[in-house]
Amino acid sequence: MSSETGESSFQDCEDCLAPAEAFSVIANETRLSILEALWQSPERPVSFSELRKEVEMRDSAQFNYHLQQLTDHFVVQTDAGYDFRQAGKKVVRAVLAGSFNERPQVKPIELSETCVDCGAPLRADYRDEMLGIECPDCGKPHGRYPFPPGGLNDRTDDEVMDAFNQRVRHLHCLAADGVCPECNGKMGTTITLDTEDLLGLEVRVDHRCQQCHHQLYSAVGLSLLDQSEVVTFHRDHGIDLCTKPYWDLAWCVSDEYTTVLSTDPWKIRVTIPLDDEELQVTLDGDLAVLSTERVDATTAPDAKQPVS
């Protein structure tokens, strides 16, 4: 069934569990143990007897009751046994990520990279399942993004920061493609003048999910990390942009190299300087690249011009 706008929602699904009921189904130690046993099994489907053996429950009738509560919504029964539905996998992954049951206390991580504003060493801190990078001297934010507690397990500080760098890239890549990294709903992108001073920028990119309202904010340049011409430009200068920390790239965390050419429609130029050369990338309001141009930095005019 569809709504009047032609879009579906969980309220329209006659066969779906209501959210409150879905959480009540898995809010049981035995049922979570069943999902964990199914996850740990080297091969699936898993037979009833093997699954009960792994959960270590002697009472067959009681085990069957809990298993049936999971069936159809979180697991599926086949002729060969039981296997996951996608919802069941997501529950286990959420548990493994530590989102439900971990509240780690992490000491601040001192970074070797420096602040794009004042040049002081940066620091990363972790709180409320968010990892953020900030300058302890001037307070300039360099991004704060969701990072599940499970991402901290069995990693050194350097490995945590490498994982965080890749995660931020992934989050913004999905968002720019219109896919919410939280719920897979439709993600909209808008360019805005940052009157709220959320990131210390004059111009900000906002990604907002129409379904769950999840939001991501960034400088315009962050959308260019996987753009082919930008990657090639860095490679030609001996830099692997795929592993370079985004917070070590001024054009990703500030708008020092961002020029608004027009606002109606939006037309923005990001200038990326390396050695004696610049790459000038022009984007529209959807962050689509309109053009790229390499210029001699020693003869190029000042790229930062105010918008009239």
- Find the angle CA(189)-CA(261)-CA(216) to the nearest 5 degrees: 20
- Average pLDDT of the chain is 85
Over residues 268-287, the pLDDT tens digits come to: 999 999 999 999 999 999 99
What would the mean pLDDT of 171-186 be, rounded to a whole number? 90
Does 303 score more than 60 pLDDT?
no
Share of the chain above pLDDT 90, in %: 57
Q: Where are the domains of the chain?
A: 11-97
Task: State residue 287's pLDDT score.
Answer: 93
pLDDT band at 299 (very low <50, low <70, confident <90, very high): confident
Residue in 87, 198, 101, 216 with CA at minimum distance from that of residue 148:
101
**pLDDT for 190-232, tens place per residue?**
998 866 666 678 888 999 999 888 899 899 999 999 999 999 9
Look at the alpha carbons of 273, 199, 265, 174 in this order and tell me if their dihedral is positive or negative. positive
- Rounded-to-integer distance, Cα 33 and Cα 63, Å: 11
Identify the pLDDT of residue 188. Answer: 94
- Long-range contacts, stretch 159-163, CB < 8 angstroms, 24+ apart: 160/109, 160/131, 161/109, 161/111, 161/124, 161/245, 162/243
9 pLDDT exceeds 50? no
Query: pLDDT tens digit string along 72-122?
Result: 888 999 999 999 888 888 777 776 655 554 556 789 999 999 999 999 999
CATH class in words for 11-97: mainly alpha
Residues 22-65: tens digit of each pLDDT: 566 677 888 888 988 998 898 999 999 999 999 998 889 989 99
pLDDT given at position 308: 34
pLDDT of residue 104: 61
Cα–Cα dist 4/1, whole Å: 10
pLDDT value for 283: 96
pLDDT of 170: 92
pLDDT at 195: 62
pLDDT on residue 86? 82
Give the burial string for 204-222 (b: 16+ CB within 10 Å, else e): bbbbbbeeeebebbbbbbb
Query: Measured between alpha carbons, how far is 258 from 217 in angstroms, rounded to an integer?
Result: 16
Q: What is the pLDDT of residue 302?
A: 59
pLDDT tens digit string along 114-167? 999 999 999 999 988 899 999 999 999 999 998 888 888 888 999 999 999 999
